[in-house]
Structure formats: structure tokens, C-alpha cells
Structure 1
Amino acid sequence: MSDVEKKDDLHPVDVSHDEVLANPDLMNDALDAEALEHQMGTWEAAKANPMACFWAFIMCFTIVMESFDMFLNTNFVALAAFQKHFGVQTGPDAYTIPTRWQSALFQSGQCGAFIGVFLAGPITNRIGYRWTTILGLMIMNATIFISFFGDSLTVLVIGQAFEGIPWGFFIANSPAYASEVVPIPLRAATTATLQMSWSIGSIIVAGASYAYNNRSDEWAWRVPLALQWIFPTPLLVLIFFCPESPWWLIRRGRKAEALRSIKRLGSNVSEDSAQKSLAMIERTIEIEAQLGKAPTFMDLLKGSDRRRTIITCLVYASQNFAGNLIANQATYFFEQAGMSSAFSFQLNLITTCLQFVANAGSWFLTAWFCRRTVYLYGLSANIVFLFLLGICASVPQNHHTNYAQACLGVIISFVYAGSQGPISYTIISETSSIRLRPLSTAVGRAAYYITEIPMIYLSSRMLNTTGWNLAGKCGYVWGGTAVVCWITAYFFLPELKHRSYRESDILFNRKVSARKFKSTVIDARDNE
């Protein structure tokens, strides 16, 4: 191990990579590596980098635990045994969880995750994506015990809060790691698997909740809670063997390890090809290093990084304003729309499976269309469906209008899962600079939680019979907020498809208008 690498084990280091900018041979290597990524098609890139795809998917799959737990709680409030044990009686043989406790169950995990994302940034900068994720998985294994043995709403809420802390680690690191280990053509597909992991978690929850829906004892909710333990340990073992991001290693001055990671991520990577990729990474990192040294949270608000941080925060926050919370509380929404409890659980299972299909479809959409196109058109479609939902709930209600509201709820979830949901993670991972990426993704996700926590309360108020009891009329509210998101995205969302991280840095540093990102030409030899 080199002296620099030994030093890095104890203290952060700032290593200069300016040799790559001054050495013509290294510059040519960097140019060749970047040109090769631009020339690759999606399928060609996948065949050349199978292990990069695999490890990106494994890292993204950690988010299945946040999805599992989030959907578990939203299903519990519609579970008869859970309502009877923890709820208040509202009629003959009718029970419900009070709105304040519904909100607490839904929000406590997000509060914990809010803390987790802020811890994730500095920890990742210090020990890397791999060890930070392993630490999160160990904490996750321990905190599940609180929820499983909890016998009051108070303990369940506390358990959720503690479980939320490792969620913050996973969601902050997954899109950043996935976008760094794959070449340009695969960034959208790999980061979109985050949304697929959400769908997988919701499918398992929907299946478990449906299977135990008819039980009248405590195991109706304890068995689904215990199923959380099927994820952390296998993932911990896998991630122990995964390669660290070569971008993180280069920033820490650990070139030999970065070279080994590059070789492990590709298929039959030659020494020459690996050295070229290394030169490309060093070139980009040196361009960013000229803007500042050791990254801090305050750097997110300086220079061109302020604009990048705002975009990341807005894209993350917008996920809560376009009807996504209808999908997150689907079972309860279907019940409020007039469906029976059993049919609501069945419909929720169908919805989650359709979301998985939509996630897979997003791979093709992102390969064919630009990021802005997928985001804006997907959001436009959901705006229409949300207002239609509100109209259906406003006319005199009957059997047909109930089914119309339920169908629109399914469609809104499907459209979101195929467009705005997955493409948001791609945009987030591509927008931040390499130097500040762990901190930027953390702050962006924090913006998501800051908006989600009050929106969960608002959503619960709108749907609950002890609240405003709006049912499908909530479509007017979410449709209105979605319009604001669309207008903001139209003017401020840049197009970064086919852009290397070097090109993205230059575009932001030159303060190019968001709508001109796609057409602006960046010379292959430009460094600023």
C-alpha cells in the first residue's frame, strides 16, 4: 500500500491529478475513454460491463427495505386485525386508526431517514459507498427488532424512526454509486432500478398483507414485519464483495485500488483500456478540484453547485406533489373510493405488479427519449388523470364512479412508475458534481423528506373518514401541485442525456440555460 493510501485510512486527503491535464499522452487516453463511452449503445455497454450492471442493481436493491416498510404501514392501517387491536371504534364492528397515529406511522420512518441522509454524506466521503452501506445494513438488522416486538402504536412509531436512519444511507448512496460505476449509456437504466426496487418491495408487502388479511390475531401484522429480515443479511454479504466506486477511490488518491475496481466492473478489460478509463476519471476530478478542495455541505451553495443543488432538491421534492402519495397509500385509497377491504388488497397487489412492469418499460423510454421529455410528458399525463380523478369523485357517486376512481388510481401509479419516478433518480445522479455527489444526493433526499412529511399528514387528512374524507377529490389538490412542478421543470430542468460528467461540469460552470443544454456543443478538449 502506498504512503498516500496509508494516510487515507486515517485522515481525509486532497490528491492532485493535474498531471493528466499537462501530459499529452494521459489527455489522449482520457479523450479516447470518453469517446468510447459516447459511441457505445445501451446493449453494447451492458455486454461490455455486466458486473457494473450487477453491482449497481445490488446497491440500488437496498432501497427495497424503505419501500417494504413504507408500504407495510400503509397496508396496516387498512388491516382489520391491526385496526381492531390499535384503533378506535367508529361503528358496529368498525375500527380505524386515528389520523394522528396514521400520520405518525407514515412519518416517523421519514424523520429517521432525514437524519440518515445527512449522516450518509460525510460518512460516505470518509469511508466510501461500500462500507457506509454495510454499516446501514447492520443497523437495519438490529432496529427491526423494535417494530417486531412492539405492542403499542408508540413503540411501532419509535421502531420506524430508528429503521429510517439506515434508509437514509441507502437512498443517498444508491443512485450515486450506480451512476458512477457504469458508462454513460447505462446510467438511466441502472439508476431507474431504484424505482423498480420500490415496486419489488411493494409487491412483497401487497402479497404478504393479502395473505394475512383474513387473520384476526397479532400475526396478521407481525409476520409481515418479520419478513423485513429476509433482506439485510444477504445484501450485506453481497456488498462486502462489491468493488468500491473508482471515482471515490481516485478522489482519495487510491489509484491502484481504482484500477482494480475498473477491471472488476468490466468484462475482460485490458490494462490499456483500464488505464484510459482511469485517465478520464482523473481528468474530470481535477477539473472539479480546481473549484475547491475538501467538500463540505456549504460548498453545495457556492458557485455553479448552488444551481445543481437546487435542481436536485426540486426534482426529489416534486415526487411528493404529483400523486405519488396515492400509490403509497393505495389500499386505503381504494377502500375510501368504495371498494371492499378484500378487493382493495387484491387491487393493491395488481397495482404494484403493474408498477413493476412500468419500471421495466422506463428502461426503453430512457433509451429512446431525453430525460426532460420523459419527465415532462409523464408528469403531463398524470396531471390530466389527477383532475379526472377529482371530477369522478365530484359527481353523484355510484358503483361505476367508485370503479372509475379506483382505475384512475391504478393508472396514476402506473404512469408515475414508468416516467417521473425512475427518471428522477437518473436526473439526480447526473446533476450533482462528482466532488459533492455524496453530499448533494443526501441534501436532495432531505428535501424529499422535508416535503413528504407534511404531505403524508395532508394525504392522511384528505383520505381518512375521521379527517376531511375527500377520497378521489384529492386529485384536485395533487393535480394543482403537479402543475406547479411541471412549470418549474420546464424552465429549470437541464438535459444531461449523453453527457459525460466533464461535459456536465462545463455546462453548469458556463451557466448555460436549461433549455439549451441539449444543443450546446462541448469540445472534447475543453477543460473549463
Structure 2
Amino acid sequence: METKLSREVTADHPPVNTKAGAGSVDVALDEAIRFEHTLTFVEACKLYPSAIAWSMFVSLGVIMLAFDPQILGNLYAMPQFQSDFGYQFEDGYIISAAWQTGLSMGNPVGQVVGALVAGYPMELFGRKWTFGACVALTSALIFIQFFARSLEVLLVGELLGGLVLGCYAVIAPAYASEVCPMAIRGVVTSYVNLCFVIGQLLGNSICAGTAKLTDHWAYSIPFALQWFWCLIILPGLIWVPESPWWLVRKGRLDDAQTVLRRLASEKVDIQQTLAVIVETDKLERELEMGSTYWDCFKGVNLRRTEISVGVYCTQVLSGIYLINYGTYFFNLAGLPTEEAFQMGIGFLAVGFLGTIISWWLIVRFGRRTIYNTGLFSLVVLQLIIGILDCIPGRPTNVIWAQSSLMLVWNFFYDLSIGPVCFVIISEASATRVRSKSIAVATAAQGALGCIMTVAIPYMINPDQANMQGKLGFFFGGLAALCFVWAYFRVPETKGRTYEELDILFGRKVPTRQFRNYVIDSEVSH
């Protein structure tokens, strides 16, 4: 196939004009492209209820990924856990910064190793069976955490569990982006962020409920409740459809057609959808996109990988890892234990609300504007928190003001860079290297997470730096640097099919021209 591409005038959300032979494949392509661009969000929800449901089901793994580090962070503020595993400090007990660092390393280390490992089975065996294997392994490794009665055993459980949990961050957005049409792609991929918030909120709520217990069940119950998700997911795996994009790359066109029929209503012409998937895969092979980790850093893919890595790492650099220490942070800020747990729950509740509202913004405004505006808001809020901490004596009203601003910060985070990140990493990556591109971004985020996991306990612990609200200066400064990068590098991907995105990146279209760039393609077979 010979492809000729030429630039025309700019317009908002332009269509692709495809001139081809008179064959049925060409007609199907024309109709499919026109259908994708005219389909509204509401119409897509009506036509693809199964696709939405299965993408949400696979994203349940992310709840487990978020739940584990959240309960661990809460345990540091739990009196029974402190007395059983910590040492005496002043009038109570604390877990040393060194052990907090070691225990909390499981999740970010898992995201680094697990994410990179996940890329291979996802391409060899598909999204479905890789997901199933991970859930089965998670259910087995929970036993170590549940029966741990020493920090050493708990450390082993966290490290091994983290290796598997890291895979879910790759599987969920990749699967969601490949089973749903363009009109709902942004919402279903951003739903991954809601699953993070749900896992964190459940972790905080459960620990708040068990914190008053005076035996090992105070921390054993939260660990045991991780089995709940395994019991839901494993039976449902029997009916999970495989990704049609993966099936096409494997040459299994009949299976891909069967899956597309399951994902869409009877009103959808799946032959058109299949034609677009085949054509996009063909185009990426012509552009020599490749399908290995090394291909993520070759040619046009380098820019696409940079964008995915950048938006994911920005989450860490702007302060998201403070969420895992939210209750502990509020406790150290001067709030009583019970109020610290309540503030931690409220912290995540506003995040839940922010993510829900973000869906309307994503459908209405796209990605770039929301991402950059939200990131700038986070910078301002972090700096205000830092300034308030400089008030001499830190009176009670200042402590409550800082805590309240942290809630506002989390709302804006989950309104913008939290959910939009997962949309961007799914859309910026080429379909042939999507699982590996997301894996690289997840691993990079996890590597930064390792650094933060080491640093944060030493920055906030009362027997160490005891920075308290001055952390706002640290994360506010890092977020400001991220904002400058995002302004020049994060493009608008809303309203573009995967084939269009391949063409835009292939032409090296400048970042700020992505939104209004018109593609006129002439394709001859």
C-alpha cells in the first residue's frame, strides 16, 4: 500500500478524507472513519455498553494496586500496629523511617519491575490471560501479608505482592483504550484513576474502622479484605473478551470479529471497525513502529514515549505519593488520630468527586487544556501550603487551613492530571507498542516513586526532618518545572482516531497545532 499525505487548512476536529479504490474495504474504511467522528458520547454509551462494562471490570485490578499501599500508609498511624511493630518514642510508638521506607518500597518497585515484565505476556498471551494470571498470583501472595507478625515477613509480602500489582497499571489502560470507540475512550481510560481513588478511599475507610481494635485484627482485617476483589475477578475472567487490536496483530481476524460483535450492539457495523483496526496496524508497520521495548525509543515513537513518561512522572513530582501518607501526615500536622483518619477519608472523597467531574471536562474540553490548567493550580496550592507553614508557632487555625488546602489540592489533582494522565498515555502511544509504552511510563513513574518512598518518611517523620507543611515548597517547585515541560510537549489528542494520531506524530506536527491540524489522506491500494 502506498500512502500520500498532504496538509490542508486548519479546523476544529477535522475529518480524514480517504480516497481509495472502489473495493468494499475502502468503503468500510470511509464509513468507519465518518462514524467515529460523528458519534457522540451518549450515542457511544448506548451502542457499546458491553465494551464499557468489560473495561471497568478489568480496571478492578487497579483498586487492588491502590488499596495495598494505602492501608500500609495508614498502618503507620494505627496505635496497635505501632505498638506491635514499632519502637517507643516520647509518649507513644512509631515505625522508624528506615522501615517505613522498606515496607513502602514494595509498590513502586513492583511498578518498575512488574510493569516491564507485564509487557511481554500481554503481547504473547493477550490482555485477558495476563490479567487472570496476575489476579491468581495476588490472591496467593496476600497470605504472606495476612500472617505476617514481623516487619521482615511483611516486607517480603509487600515486595512480592508489589511485583504483581504493578502489572495492573499497564493492563487496565491498555485494555480500556482498545475495546472502546473514540467517543468514550477518554472516560473509560480515565476511569483507571477513579479505581486508584476507590482503592485508596477503601483503604482509609477500612483502617479508620479497625484502628480502634486492640489486637492484630486491627491490621490483619485490612490485609484480608484484599481477597474480596480476587473472588470477584477470577470467576468473571471466563467471559472477559480479548482485545481486538491484539487479535488483529496476531492475524486472528475471525476471533477479532467475534470479539467486536460481543463488545458492540447489533446496530454497529463491526466490519467497518475491523477494517480500521487492520488499516491502522498496516500503517504502523509501514511507518516501522515496531513492537519491542527498543522500538519505544526509535524514530517517531521516541516523542510519543516521552509524552507518556512525562505525564505519568508528573503525578509523582507534583506530590501524589503524599496520599499514601495522608492520615499519617495529618496526624503529624497536629490533628488527633481519629480526626486524622477522618481527614484522610475526606481527602480521598473529594478526589472521588473530582474524578467524576473530570469525565465531563474530558468530553467537553479534551486533554491538553485540562492537564495544564490543573497542573498550574496544583503548583499554586502547594506553594500556599508551604507559605502557611512559615507562620511562627503554627497556630491551630493554620494547621486546619493547611489540611483543608490539601483536600482542595487533591480535588484539583483528580479533576485534572490524575485522570487525564491515563487518557494521554493510552492515546499518545502507537497501538503496536501500546502495552510496552505504557509499561515504560509506569516503570519510570515507579522509579521516581522509589525515590519518593525513601525521601518522604525522612522528610515528614518527627525524629527526622519534620518538614510538615514545608513540603509544599518542595513539591510545588517540582510541579512548576513539570508545568513548563507540559506546556511545550503535551498535545491535544481529543477527537482523533489512532490512525490520525499515527499520521500527526509521523508528520512531526508541533504540539500546539495538534488540535486544529487537518489531515487529508489519499490512500491507494
Indicate yes or no: 2:463 matched with 1:470. Answer: no
Q: 1:279 — aligned with what?
A: 275
Cα distance in 2 between the residues matched to 1:180 and 1:328: 30
Indicate yes or no: 2:448 matched with 1:448. Answer: no
Q: 2:212 — aligned with what?
A: 214
Cα distance in 2 between the residues matched to 1:23 and 1:446: 46
C-alpha contact 1:173 1:438 (8 A) present in aligned 2: yes
Code of the aligned partner of 1:421:
G
1:469-501 per-residue CA deviation (whole Å, 9 max, x = no partner) reads: 011110000000000110000011111100100
**Alpha-carbon shift at residue 323 of structure 1 (Å):** 2.2
* Cα distance change on mapping 1:318 and 1:527 into 2, 3 Å: farther
Higher mean C-alpha deviation, range 130-139 or range 22-31: 22-31
Q: 1:99 aligns with which of 94, 97, 100?
A: 97
Mapping 1:73-112, distance limit 5 Å: 73-92=72-91, 94-112=92-110
**Alpha-carbon shift at residue 293 of structure 1 (Å):** 7.8
Cα distance in 2 between the residues matched to 1:328 and 1:110: 12
Q: 1:9 — aligned with what?
A: none
Indicate yes or no: 2:150 matched with 1:157. Answer: no
Code of the aligned partner of 2:283:
I
Higher mean C-alpha deviation, range 478-487 or range 202-211: 202-211
Indicate the RMSD between aligned Cα atoms, in angstroms.
1.6
User: Any unmatched runs of 5+ in structure 2?
Assistant: 1-18
TM-score when normalising by structure 2 = 0.94
Q: 1:357 aligns with which of 331, 349, 353?
A: 353
**Alpha-carbon shift at residue 25 of structure 1 (Å):** 2.2
C-alpha contact 1:378 1:420 (8 A) present in aligned 2: yes
Cα distance in 2 between the residues matched to 1:355 and 1:34: 36
**Alpha-carbon shift at residue 131 of structure 1 (Å):** 0.5
Higher mean C-alpha deviation, range 288-297 or range 171-180: 288-297
* Cα distance change on mapping 1:23 and 1:168 into 2, 3 Å: farther
- Which one has more relative contact order, counting CA pairs under 8 Å at least 6 apart? 2
Cα distance in 1 between the residues matched to 2:497 and 2:79: 52
Higher mean C-alpha deviation, range 291-300 or range 133-142: 291-300
Mapping 1:44-123, distance limit 5 Å: 44-92=43-91, 94-123=92-121
Q: 1:233 aligns with which of 207, 231, 234?
A: 231
| Percentage identity across paired residues of the two chains | 34
1:352-395 per-residue CA deviation (whole Å, 9 max, x = no partner) reads: 22211111111111011120111011111111110010011111
Cα distance in 2 between the residues matched to 1:274 and 1:108: 43
Q: 1:187 — aligned with what?
A: 185
* Cα distance change on mapping 1:86 and 1:49 into 2, 3 Å: same
Q: 1:174 — aligned with what?
A: 172
C-alpha contact 2:290 2:433 (8 A) present in aligned 1: no
SS of the equivalent of 2:149 reads coil
Q: 2:32 — aligned with what?
A: 33
Indicate yes or no: 2:297 matched with 1:301. Answer: yes
Code of the aligned partner of 2:415:
G
**Alpha-carbon shift at residue 411 of structure 1 (Å):** 1.0
User: Any unmatched runs of 5+ in structure 1?
Assistant: 1-19
**Alpha-carbon shift at residue 458 of structure 1 (Å):** 1.6
Code of the aligned partner of 1:403:
W
Q: 1:417 — aligned with what?
A: 414
Mapping 1:253-402, distance limit 5 Å: 253-269=251-267, 273-292=269-288, 295-396=291-392, 397-402=394-399
1:119-167 per-residue CA deviation (whole Å, 9 max, x = no partner) reads: 1111110000000000100100111011111111111111011111221
SS of the equivalent of 2:251 reads coil
Cα distance in 1 between the residues matched to 2:465 and 2:177: 42
C-alpha contact 1:502 1:527 (8 A) present in aligned 2: no
C-alpha contact 2:316 2:445 (8 A) present in aligned 1: yes
Code of the aligned partner of 1:120:
A
Cα distance in 1 between the residues matched to 2:457 and 2:128: 37
Code of the aligned partner of 1:425:
F
C-alpha contact 1:323 1:412 (8 A) present in aligned 2: no
Aligned length: 506
Q: 2:195 — aligned with what?
A: 197
* Cα distance change on mapping 1:419 and 1:79 into 2, 3 Å: same
**Alpha-carbon shift at residue 524 of structure 1 (Å):** 5.3
* Cα distance change on mapping 1:432 and 1:523 into 2, 3 Å: same
Code of the aligned partner of 2:284:
E
C-alpha contact 1:60 1:191 (8 A) present in aligned 2: no
* Cα distance change on mapping 1:517 and 1:421 into 2, 3 Å: same
**Alpha-carbon shift at residue 311 of structure 1 (Å):** 1.0
Deviation beyond 6 Å, 4+ runs, structure 1: 20-23
Cα distance in 1 between the residues matched to 2:277 and 2:37: 15
1:83-135 per-residue CA deviation (whole Å, 9 max, x = no partner) reads: 1111111113x111110111111112221232111111111100000000001
SS of the equivalent of 1:216 reads coil
